[in-house]
Amino acid sequence: MSTTTEFAAARWRKSAHSQNNSACVEFAFAGDLVGIRDSKFARKQFDQLTEQPLIMLPASRWNEFIAAAIGDGSMPPQVRMNCHEDGGVTLVDDHGTTLTYTSKEWSAFVAGASENDFIVL
């Protein structure tokens, strides 16, 4: 199983629809895990993962996560998705790590997921 430190060297991606936004849903694969983070949590040093909340789930569950994000399935058991009235979303993992996205941020991610249109950061 991967560790959080492996994400320091990971190739992070975001939706191409988020290019002009300073805050977005970012994800990366490291070993048998996929990490999800929020770019609003800027770190002074990119190898200090403790400075930025990170939700991890098995890479084998990524397609399930994407399907749920676009409204075509349920979230993997490791992640809960709470939808806000304004269109924003809060993701919470089994450890209590919380990531909250605005409607604009989540919509950009969903658009990228729907079109499989992600860019490497």
List the chain domain ranges: 4-115
User: Residue 50 above 90 pLDDT?
Assistant: no
Residue count of the chain, please give it.
121
Q: Output 100 or 45, whichever has higher pLDDT.
A: 100
Whether pTM exceeds 0.75: yes
Q: What would the two tokens of residue 68 be? A: 């749920």
User: Residue 67 above 80 pLDDT?
Assistant: yes
Q: Where are the beta strands (DSSP E) in the chain?
A: 13-15, 25-30, 33-38, 55-58, 79-83, 89-93, 98-101, 118-120
**Residue 56 — φ and ψ, nearest 5°?**
-120, 145
